Amino acid sequence: MYTAIGYAAQSATTPLAPVKFERRSPRADDVAIEILYCGVCHSDIHQARNEWGIAVYPLMPGHEIVGKVTAVGANVTKHKIGDLVGVGCMVDSCRSCDACQANLEQYCLEGPTMTYATPDRVDGSNTMGGYSDSIVVSEHFVVRIPEKLDLASAAPILCAGITTYSPLKHYGVKAGDKVGVLGMGGLGHMGIKFAKAMGAEVTLFTRSASKAEEARRQGADHVIVSTDAEQMKAAAGHFDFLLDTIPVQHDLNPYLDTLRFDGVHILVGLIEPIDPPVHAGKLVMSRRVLAGSLIGGVAETQEVLDFCAEHNITCDIEMLDIHQINEAFTRMIAGDVKYRFVIDMATLKV
C-alpha cells in the first residue's frame, strides 16, 4: 500500500475536496500509473451527486485517464515502465462469461468493476478514479496511447470517444447514411466527428442555436434546433440513426418521428426511466428500433484510439486546474464547455 492524493466527494451534497487515501501495491498482473491527465465526464457529476442512486462515498470520479507506467507486477507482459497508457471506465470484469469472452467486458454478466465507486473483485475495497495522482489497474484494462495523439486531448477518447464510436460501428453506420447526434457536449462532439469519418451525412440536434457554426466546424452538415417545432417537423422520416447523448429525461417521441422506417434511436445519455413514455406506435408502425449502448470493450477502446490517430480525430478540450473542479461541474451543467474539461494533474501537486 502507498498513500495517494486526489479529489473526492464525501456525500451527494458536498463539493469535491482533496483527500489522502491508500492505493494497493501492484499485484502480479497490475500496472501502476502516474496520472498526467483526466477528462471530466458528465457521469462524474451524476455519480458524485448520486443521481443514479448507486454512489459509494468517498467517491473519487475520473474515468478518462492518461498517464505513464511507473511500475509493473511480475506477470505483466503488455506494458512496461515509461509507456504512455490509458484507463477508461472499467478496471476489471469476471473475464470468463460470454460477454467477457466476446471482448464486451462492459456487458460482463457479473457486472464489470468500474473505475470508481465499485468494490474491487479481490479485496472488496471501493475503487477510486482518476481525479488522482496515480492508479493501479490490471494490465488487461490498460490501453496504449498511440504516439501520434496529443496526451491531454486523447484522455476523453477513453469514455466520450468509445461511447460514441462503439454504437455507430455496431449498427454499421456507413457512407451516405443520415445520422443525427442529439446534444453537443463531450460525447456529442465526438459522435459528430466519428459519424463524419464513417462517411455519414451528419446533423446536430441542439437546444442552442448558437452552437450551429461550431457544429459545422466539428463536421456537421446540418443543424436542427430541437426546441423549434417547425424544424423538427420538417425533418420527419429523414434519419437512419440517432445518437442520443442528452443527459436528462426528455421526450423521445418528436425525435422518433425524424427516423425513417427501420431507423435506430440509440440512447447513450440516459439510464433512468424514459419519461414521458414512448408511443409504441412510432416503433411498431415503422419497424423502428429504440436501442442503448454502454461504453465499449477494452479491445474496441484500443481500436478507437488507433482510429483517432489514423483519422486525425482529437477531442476539443479546455484544460482544467483541479482546484477549479467544482466550478467545472457547474459550468458543464450549464453547457458552458467546449467540449470537454481535462484536468492537468500537475496542478494537484501545487
Per rule CB under 6 A, is residue 41 in the interface with ligand NDP? Answer: yes
Per rule CB under 6 A, is residue 38 in the interface with ligand NDP? Answer: no
CA distances from 19 to 4, 12, 126, 328, 343 (A): 8, 16, 14, 19, 16
Nearest partner of 318 among 340, 347, 349, 346, judged by Cα: 340
Distance CA 47, CA 130 (A): 14
269 touches which of ligand NDP, Zn ion, none (CB within 5 to 8 A by kind)? ligand NDP
* Number of residues binding to ligand NDP, judged by CB under 6 A: 29
Write the binding mask 135 to 164 for ligand NDP: x where contact by CB under 6 A, - elsewhere.
Answer: ------------------------xx--x-
Nearest partner of 100 among 108, 92, 91, 89, judged by Cα: 108
Per rule CB under 6 A, is residue 208 in the interface with ligand NDP? Answer: yes
Q: What is the smallest separation between the CB atom of 118 and ligand NDP, expressed in angstroms? A: 15
Contact call for residues 112 and 96 (beta carbons, < 8 A): no
Q: What is the smallest separation between the CB atom of 59 and ligand NDP, expressed in angstroms? A: 14
Nearest partner of 2 among 112, 138, 132, judged by Cα: 132
Per rule CB under 6 A, is residue 250 in the interface with ligand NDP? Answer: yes
* Closer to Zn ion by Cβ: residue 36 or 41: 41
Per rule CB under 6 A, is residue 294 in the interface with ligand NDP? Answer: yes
Q: How many residues does the chain have?
A: 350
Q: What is the smallest separation between the CB atom of 74 and ligand NDP, expressed in angstroms? A: 33
Distance CA 136, CA 175 (A): 41
Distance CA 173, CA 263 (A): 11
Distance CA 92, CA 105 (A): 8
Q: Which residues bind Zn ion (CB under 5 A)?
A: 41, 43, 159
Q: Which stretch binds ligand NDP (CB under 6 A): 15-23, 133-141, 206-214, 277-285?
A: 206-214
Per rule CB under 6 A, is residue 187 in the interface with ligand NDP? Answer: yes
Cell of 277: 413514455
* Closer to ligand NDP by Cβ: residue 270 or 309: 270
Judged by the rule CB under 6 A, the positions of this chain that interact with ligand NDP are 41-43, 46, 159-160, 163, 183-188, 206-208, 211, 245-248, 250, 268-269, 293-295, 332, 335
